[in-house]
Amino acid sequence: MAEQQKPSKPRAKRRRPTKKRWFVLVVVIGLMVGGVAGFFLNKAVSNRKASPAPKQSATIKASSATKAKIESSATTEKAKPVNKTELAASLGWGEVSSGNTSKKQIALTFDGAAGATSTTAFLDVLKDADLHCTFFLAGQFADSYPDIAKRIVAEGHELGNHSDAHRYFTRLKANQVQAQVQGAEDKIQKLTGVSTKPYFRFPYGSRNEQLIKQVNDLGYISVYWTYDTQDWQKNASSEMLHSRVMSNASPGAIILMHCDSPHEPEALPGIIKDLQAAGYKLVTLTEVLTP
C-alpha cells in the first residue's frame, strides 16, 4: 500500500516593503550621505581658513613698510643736522686730535693761510670723488683768494678758523689772540655767509693750556691732528704723501694737509681710492667727531 505523502506547506509569499519602510530607508540613506558630504565640506573649509597668505604678498608688504621706515628715518636725519656747538660741549671743549675710533672713518682737513698753489686743482679732485672735507681758513686767505673761499663753501665743505694772519700764538698777548680769532671769523663770515665756529686750529700747532682755554672761551674747540702728511716739506712728493697717509691710517684719524702744497692734486686721487678700498669712509670733521 503506497505510503501517503504529507501535504507540503505552502510557500510563504514575499512581503513587499510597505510605504513606511521605504520612507525610513530613504531617510537613513539621506542622513548617511549628508553626514559624509558634511564631513568633507567642513574639512575643506577648515583647510582653506588655515592656509597662510601667499609668501610673495607678505614679502611685498614687508618691503613696502621697511622702505617707508627707511625713507622716514632719512628725512628725519636730514631735518636735524648736527649742532656743532653742542657737539663741542659734549666733547668737553678743550682740544681734540682724533675722532670716534669705533667707526672706520677718516677726516681729511686742509689748512689755508698765505698760499693756494693747488687748491683749485684738488677741489676738482674732491668734487669728482663726491667728498666733503674740512678747511681751516685764515683771514688773509679769504682776503687773497675770495673766489676760492666761496667755492669751498659752495661745494659743501666745512669751515674752521685758522686765525687772521697765521702767527705763532705763543708769542701773542691775550688781546692779540682774541683779535686774531675774531678777525678771521668776521672776514670769512662776511665773505661766505658761514661761521667758522666752533672749530679752531692753531697756526703751526703752536699752543699751550692757557691758549686752548682762551679759544674755548671764545666759542671754539681746539682741533689738532692725528698725524701730519708733512706736505709742506721741501722734499715732499706725492708718493711720500700717499705712503704717509696709508701707513698711519686708523679709525677716527684727523689728517693734516695744506692748500698751498703742489703735491695734493697728484696725491689725492690715489689716497682717496686706497683709503676707500681699505674700508674707510672719508668724512668731515663734524662727522668724525660725532659719537
Segment 59-102, tens digit of pLDDT:
333 344 444 444 444 444 455 789 999 999 999 999 999 999 99
Q: Quote the cell numbers at residue 214.
A: 682762551
Question: CB 75: neighbour CB atoms within 10 A?
Answer: 10
Residue 71 falls inside a structural domain:
no
Please report which helix (H) or strand (E) contains residue 212, including its range: helix 209-217
Residue 241 falls inside a structural domain:
yes
Identify the CATH number of the domain in which residue 182 sits: 3.20.20.370
What residues make up the domain containing 132? 84-289
Domain count, the chain: 1
Where in 45-197 does DSSP place strands (E)?
Answer: 95-96, 105-112, 134-137, 158-161
Residue 173 falls inside a structural domain:
yes
Contact 180, 202 (CB under 8 A): no
CA distance 105 to 135: 17
Residue 216 falls inside a structural domain:
yes
- Residue whose C-alpha is closest to residue 132's, from 164, 161, 154: 154
State the chain's maximal CA–CA distance in angstroms.
Answer: 172
CA distance 27 to 31: 6
Residue 79 falls inside a structural domain:
no
Contact 96, 89 (CB under 8 A): no
Residues 104-130, mean pLDDT to the nearest whole number: 96
Which positions are catalytic? 111, 258
Query: Is 237's pLDDT higher than 90?
Result: yes
Residue 116 falls inside a structural domain:
yes
Its pTM stands at 0.74
Torsion 30-36-39-45 (CA) sign: negative
Residue 124 falls inside a structural domain:
yes
Residue 196 falls inside a structural domain:
yes
- Residues 159-189 have pLDDT tens digits of 999 999 999 999 999 999 999 999 999 999 9
